[in-house]
Amino acid sequence: MGTVQFTSSATAHGGREGHVRSSDGVVDFDTSMPGTPRAKKLDNSTNPEQLFAAGYAACFDSALALVSAKARVKFDSEVTANVSLMKDESDNGFKIGVKLQVKGTGIEKDQLEELVHQAHQVCPYSKATRGNIDVSLEVI
């Protein structure tokens, strides 16, 4: 294991129909499955996929900034992580899949595609999910 840079902690109670809170209180949300009665009552509730999407999008955009800086390429980027909860036919359970959509302003599409693939190799979320879930990359 590498040298720890920092550790973030969050605690969940009640799972998908409960509450999640980070140790510093910045994240403090009720959780609910989209479309459930609880979700309809709680306007500001979230779900694990939404939280994962936020983390992956931010992490991937940072990885893209890192590889771009090393290549001495400057442009504006925006990353959207679409995280889907899906039925897993192999065990009759559930799994997630991710589609990362990357927009770049001030850069040619071919060059952006190359940098996106490089970022996918160094992003900690991409490393953690590699071989475990389907992740697709789309350059817009």
Question: In DSSP terms, which residues pair with 96 in a beta bridge?
Answer: 85
Under 8 Å between Cβ of 72 and 99:
no
Nearest residue to 26 via CA among 54, 60, 59, 3: 54
The burial of 32, by beta-carbon neighbours within 10 Å (0-12 exposed, 13-18 middle, 19 or more buried), is given as buried
The burial of 27, by beta-carbon neighbours within 10 Å (0-12 exposed, 13-18 middle, 19 or more buried), is given as middle
pLDDT 10s per residue in the chain (140 long)? 789 999 999 999 999 999 999 999 999 999 999 999 999 999 899 999 999 999 999 999 999 999 999 999 999 999 999 999 999 999 999 999 999 999 999 999 999 999 999 999 999 999 999 999 999 999 99
pLDDT of res. 45: 96
DSSP state of 46: B
Overall fold of domain 8-46: N-terminal domain of TfIIb (2.20.25)
Overall fold of domain 48-139: GMP Synthetase; Chain A, domain 3 (3.30.300)
The burial of 98, by beta-carbon neighbours within 10 Å (0-12 exposed, 13-18 middle, 19 or more buried), is given as buried
Under 8 Å between Cβ of 38 and 23:
no
| Domain range summary for the chain, segments of one domain joined by + | 8-46, 48-139
Widest pairwise Cα distance in the chain: 50
